[in-house]
A and B are shown apart, each in its own frame.
Chain A
Amino acid sequence: MLLLESMEEEIRQNYTEAEKLQVFHDEFMPHINSMYNFAYRLTFDEDDANDLVQDTYLKAFRFIHSFEKGTNAKAWLFRILKNSFINDYRKKSKEPAKVDYQDVETYYNSDDVDRQITPDLRVESLQDMIGDEISNALNSLDVDFRTVIILCDLEGFKYEEMAKILDIPIGTVRSRLHRARNLLKEKLTDYAKQMGYKNT
């Protein structure tokens, strides 16, 4: 099964029908708001987000025997959703299929270091952004950059969990996140400048 293989060595769980329902309600359903938010920020369409979340939950139920009770249900669900998105939705969307990544080796290069160490963006400007600026800036990022910010900053996944959800090495998680944050800050710097002009 493309969706679930390689997450862990799959051990088949023997759940009774009642246990299946219990796992579903107690461990899967509590994540539905996060799942919907993720789906919406991937598709930018309410109907697509609804379908994507529904597909994900039905798949999760169908393959519940490969989920071990009490383990990380949220990461497991996010992984299914992300794979469903790639397989079923991304094809039909206009998003370019691949983003051109800078690789791990450029991560510590001096340009990036300077950029991280001396940001143009000020904390005060950020705190002035009381509207949709942050959300819009996040939405403006390419899907792969958007995704790592959502997983890390919004949902609080660890790098190791993100690597499993996205099927990429941890070094790639780190470099992608680093780039995503810089792109987000660039976008917010633009907003800050525009706000500055308005205030003069």
Chain B
Amino acid sequence: MPDSTTSPEGKKLSCIEMLQLMLEGDATLEQQQNFKAHLDECMPCYKSYNLEVTLKMLIKSKCNGNGAPPELVEKIKTQISQNMPH
């Protein structure tokens, strides 16, 4: 039985592999807990993880734009309704 810090092949996961798993959102609950514990004792992982999570959040909040222009939305709707057989 592989424990949660090992890959399915039984190989122990490196810091970078664990980080990647966490950032991809593919870590199991147990792997997440283990990683959180690992963060307390591994400064490079802690820094790196925090930075990536912050960056992701900032991209989400700062790069959303102002939405589609209302005229575009109307134009598309009109074109679609004109395409319909009556």
Interface residues of B (CB under 8 A from A): 15-16, 19-20, 24-25, 44-45, 47-48, 50-52, 54-56, 58-60, 62-65, 67-69, 72-73, 75-77, 79-81, 83-85
* Interface residue ranges, A against B (CB under 8 Å): 17, 20-21, 24, 29, 32-33, 35-37, 40-41, 46, 50, 53-54, 57-58, 61, 108, 113, 116-119, 121-123, 126-127, 129, 132, 134-135, 138, 149-150, 153-154, 158-159, 174, 181, 184-185, 188
Q: Are B79 and A134 in contact, with the CB atoms below 8 A?
A: no
- Distance (Å) between the CB of A39 and the closest chain B CB? 9
Contact A21 B84 (CB under 8 A): yes
* Bound Cα distance A36, B67 (Å): 7
Question: Nearest chain A CB to B82's CB is how many angstroms away?
Answer: 11
Q: Which residues from A are CB-within-8-Å of B76?
A: 29, 32, 53-54, 57-58
A117 to B48, CA, bound (A): 6
A119 to B54, CA, bound (A): 13
Contacts of B44 in A (CB 8 A): 117-118
